Amino acid sequence: MNKRLRRALFSIAAVSLLGLAGCQSPNTDTNGAGNKTNNMTSSPVVQGHHATVNLQDSQFQPVSIHVTVGTTVTWKNDDSMAHTVTSGADRTADGKFDSGELDPGKSFSYTFTKAGTYPYFCAYHGDMNGTVIVTATGSSASSASGNSASGNSMNMGMNMSGSNDTSDTNSAAGSSETTSDKVAPLGTGTSGEPEGKDDIRLLPYKLVNGVKVFHLTAEPVWWQVKPGEKVEAWAYNGSVPGPEIKVDEGDKVKIIVDNKLPEGTTVHWHGLDVPFAQDGTGGISQPDIKPGHTWTYTFTVNAPAGTYMYHSHPMTDMLKQENMGLWGPFIVEPKGTGWRQVHPGYQDEYTLIVNDSPQFGYTINGLSYPATPVMPAKVGDKVLVHLINIGSMDHPMHLHGFHFQVINQDGYPIKDPLTLDTIDTSPGSTYDLSFVANQPGKWLFHCHIADHTTDGSQMSGMITMFDVTK
Ligand SMILES: [Cu+2]
């Protein structure tokens, strides 16, 4: 099968391109819902040798505790969001203990059998750090050394109005940058193999003082829409679409954009209702980011869980830049869900972006059938689809085998969801579709305009499928 060959090519590409796959890595890569507490101790709990640390307001309370050898410390997550309790200095895991994803209400315990100082941290929240100091002698009493981090979560040093640091970077890329003649395998630009079965890459972030910091680079790449169809693209982080920015409701984000294009650009946060200075409209809310320059966007995600997007919005050449591929998904998950988790209540979560630019033709996630993603599901799975139309035409997307509910439009919930098998998507609109994959089969999901799904004789273009197996 084509698909198999393509996956093989991806693997080869991934080896050579791994180093380019992202700017920053978060400290953990917790994946999948329902990660249970990983209690690493089998030692009996000695009466009187027990201490508790509460996780509240994104802090360990108390921040530092003194205990004696043999004490079992229990961390209880009383917060509204997931955290981790991960041992290690300087926010680098040392493997001594790690709770994994600790959901609200859950606890994690570890028994300290050796004297020493044990720093630990939450891998999700950069200002959540704590210490357990274990002494060999003394009574069983454990004492807290006070909560020095009180109020830290409010102290982000954030400037919500017009963060504008074009001058802070002068990498001389930009105009001298040209598209490499090397063509990456199908479906990969400069950023290697996509992680998702939907062929979407996830943009890593680094947590700095409670702010999720992302990096996007707008750059020219060669892109293959289908085997042998090499086109020049202008892409975020080397892929079309750009990588998925996935955050939780209420997150504070900082997105640093490097412009390595030969012309000015901006990034607009479509549907997120950010403050004016962060809106990314060239010539209106900011000047275009010059080639070789950087711009930083900072805002709080004040939008409900749902599907949004980002795309270039420069003063000049907007149409050209969108045609060239400068767009990507921005997905908001419910508060406390955690990075990379599948949306609560769902077994499968996919993002699909339809586009009709003259540069790529009719594509889903930058690819034309049969190169488009085949998305697996098990019979009985609840499937969530983030559907985005970043084209210039309506595309009535039709699902075989199931009816779906349109639970959100433009990110916001629909009170009485419609049950449909075809949704007429409009340019600039986003939708969240929910369905139960209740029968096995290879079920097409495609645009129902014949011109958009055939090259004249063969199936081509805006067609993808769900592969539902028992
Ligand atoms: Cu169409």
CATH number at residue 4: 2.60.40.420
What's the pLDDT score for residue 340? 80
Q: Cα(453) to centroid of ligand 1, in Å? A: 7
Would you say residue 169 lies in a domain?
no
Q: Cα(452) to centroid of ligand 1, in Å? A: 5
Q: Cα(365) to centroid of ligand 1, in Å? A: 14
Q: Cα(266) to centroid of ligand 1, in Å? A: 28
Q: Cα(326) to centroid of ligand 1, in Å? A: 20
pLDDT above 50: residue 30: no
Total of domains in the chain: 3
Q: Cα(203) to centroid of ligand 1, in Å? A: 28
- The answer to whether 132 and 120 have CB atoms below 8 angstroms apart is yes
389, β-bridge pairs: 354
Bigger pLDDT: 240 vs 165: 240
Q: What is the mean pLDDT of residues 391-405?
A: 98
pLDDT above 60: residue 11: no
Bigger pLDDT: 27 vs 241: 241
Q: DSSP assignment, residue 143?
A: E
Stated as kind and residue range, the H or E segment containing 3 is helix 2-17
Would you say residue 166 lies in a domain?
no
State whether 333 and 346 are in the same domain: no
Q: Cα(448) to centroid of ligand 1, in Å? A: 6
State whether 182 and 326 are in the same domain: yes
Of the residues 289, 310, 337, which one is the last residue of a structural domain? 337
Taken in order 203, 207, 212, 214, is the CA torsion positive or negative?
Answer: negative
What's the pLDDT score for residue 116? 84
Of the residues 109, 129, 158, which one is the last residue of a structural domain? 158
- The answer to whether 53 and 111 have CB atoms below 8 angstroms apart is no
Would you say residue 165 lies in a domain?
no
State whether 215 and 311 are in the same domain: yes
Would you say residue 44 lies in a domain?
yes
Of the residues 316, 337, 358, which one is the last residue of a structural domain? 337
Q: Cα(425) to centroid of ligand 1, in Å? A: 9
State whether 315 and 269 are in the same domain: yes
What's the pLDDT score for residue 171? 31
Would you say residue 317 lies in a domain?
yes
pLDDT above 60: residue 266: yes
State whether 188 and 272 are in the same domain: yes
Would you say residue 168 lies in a domain?
no
State whether 121 and 9 are in the same domain: yes
What's the pLDDT score for residue 316? 86
Would you say residue 146 lies in a domain?
yes
Per-residue pLDDT of 135-160, as tens digits, reads: 876 443 333 333 333 333 322 222 22
Ion ligand 1, residue ranges at CB < 5 A: 395, 447, 449, 452
Q: Cα(167) to centroid of ligand 1, in Å? A: 42
How many Å apart are CA 6 and CA 27, to the nearest integer?
A: 30
Q: Cα(449) to centroid of ligand 1, in Å? A: 5
Identify the top-confidence range among 108-117, 157-166, 238-247: 238-247
Per-residue pLDDT of 314-341, as tens digits, reads: 998 888 999 999 999 999 999 988 778 8
State whether 3 and 127 are in the same domain: yes
- The answer to whether 233 and 183 have CB atoms below 8 angstroms apart is no
Per-residue pLDDT of 268-314, as tens digits, reads: 999 999 999 999 999 999 999 999 999 999 999 999 999 999 999 99
State whether 32 and 84 are in the same domain: yes
Cβ neighbourhood burial of 50 (10 Å; 0-12, 13-18, 19+): middle
Q: Within its chain, how far is the Cα of 268 from the centroid? A: 17
Q: Cα(427) to centroid of ligand 1, in Å? A: 11
**Count of C-beta atoms within a 10 Å radius of residue 183:** 16
What's the pLDDT score for residue 161? 31
Would you say residue 115 lies in a domain?
yes
pLDDT above 70: residue 357: yes
Q: Cα(2) to centroid of ligand 1, in Å? A: 23
230-236 and 430-436: which strand pairing? unpaired
Per-residue pLDDT of 54-65, as tens digits, reads: 998 888 888 888
Q: Cα(465) to centroid of ligand 1, in Å? A: 15
Q: Cα(280) to centroid of ligand 1, in Å? A: 28
Q: Within its chain, how far is the Cα of 250 from the centroid? A: 15
* Percent with pLDDT over 70 in the chain: 77
State whether 306 and 429 are in the same domain: no
State whether 28 and 97 are in the same domain: yes
State whether 117 and 72 are in the same domain: yes
State whether 329 and 238 are in the same domain: yes
Q: Cα(424) to centroid of ligand 1, in Å? A: 9
Structural domain containing residue 369: 340-469
